[in-house]
């Protein structure tokens, strides 16, 4: 007796159509958008934080705003940074440098609860202003800061200044002393 075998064919599964990837412009890591409002009482305020802890403080403030349900009062947090080029070990490296170390910009509507939320966040030492009343920034000042942050050409961060005495460590003039006459930022 011969065994009968069934021929099994695989069903063709239609391939998924390739979707076109949309490029979404994401905000800078130092710019946290929590909510939006067209209220006329919305202003930018400067908040003093522990220097070097700006990102951590901004994340904590964002978390507190969400947990307390104040998304309609505290809208944005901005850590002003700019891209710089620094030369280390003879290599150019891009880095983000804080424009105002130790400070955050917060876009908010000042109420007793929103003021207290910002003021009592760990790492924040207080608002910038006269006495206990925060002073709002003008819109043109904030736009100037944001424009400065978005500048395309990175600035070169040099560790020398014109007229500074230096010791040459490599090349035919090794171990000689010299004075910086000019700095060529294009190299």
Q: What are phi and psi of 24, to 5 degrees?
A: -105, 125
pLDDT exceeds cutoff 70 at 86: yes
The pTM (predicted TM-score) of the whole model is 0.65
User: What is the reported pLDDT for 153?
Assistant: 53
**What's the full length of the chain, in residues?**
187
Q: What is the pLDDT of residues 143-152, one digit of tens each?
A: 998 888 887 6
Q: Mean pLDDT for the chain?
A: 80
Q: 163 versus 121: which is more confidently predicted?
A: 121
Q: Cα separation of 33 and 95, whole Å?
A: 23
The answer to whether the CB of 49 falls within 8 A of the CB of 56 is: no
User: Domain 31-153 sits in which CATH superfamily?
Assistant: NusG, N-terminal domain (3.30.70.940)
pLDDT greater at residue 163 or residue 135:
135
Q: Could you count the other beta carbons within 10 Å of the beta carbon of residue 121?
A: 18
Can you give the residue ranges of every domain in the chain?
A: 31-153
Residue 80 in 3-state DSSP?
coil
Quick: pLDDT tens for 15-39. Answer: 555 545 444 444 446 788 888 888 8
pLDDT at 25: 45
CA-nearest of 113, 114, 50, 133 to 76 is: 114
- Segment 112-121 shows an average pLDDT of 93
């Amino acid at each position: 007796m011969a065994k009968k075998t069934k021929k099994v064919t695989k069903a063709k599964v239609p391939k998924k159509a390739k979707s076109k990837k949309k490029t979404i412009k994401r905000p800078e890591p130092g710019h946290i958008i929590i909510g939006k409002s067209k209220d006329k009482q919305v202003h930018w305020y400067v908040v003093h934080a522990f220097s070097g802890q700006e990102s951590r403080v901004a994340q904590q403030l964002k978390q507190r705003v969400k947990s307390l349900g104040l998304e309609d009062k505290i809208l944005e947090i901005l850590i002003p940074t700019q891209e710089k080029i620094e030369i280390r070990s003879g290599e150019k490296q891009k880095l983000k440098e804080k424009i105002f170390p130790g400070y955050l910009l917060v876009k908010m509507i000042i109420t007793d609860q929103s003021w207290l939320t910002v003021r009592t966040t760990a790492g924040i030492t207080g608002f910038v202003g006269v006495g206990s009343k925060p002073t709002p920034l003008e819109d043109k000042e904030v736009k100037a800061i944001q424009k400065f942050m978005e500048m395309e050409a990175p600035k070169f961060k040099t560790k020398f200044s014109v007229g500074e005495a230096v010791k040459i460590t490599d090349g035919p003039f090794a171990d000689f002393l010299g004075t910086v006459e000019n700095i060529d930022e294009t190299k």
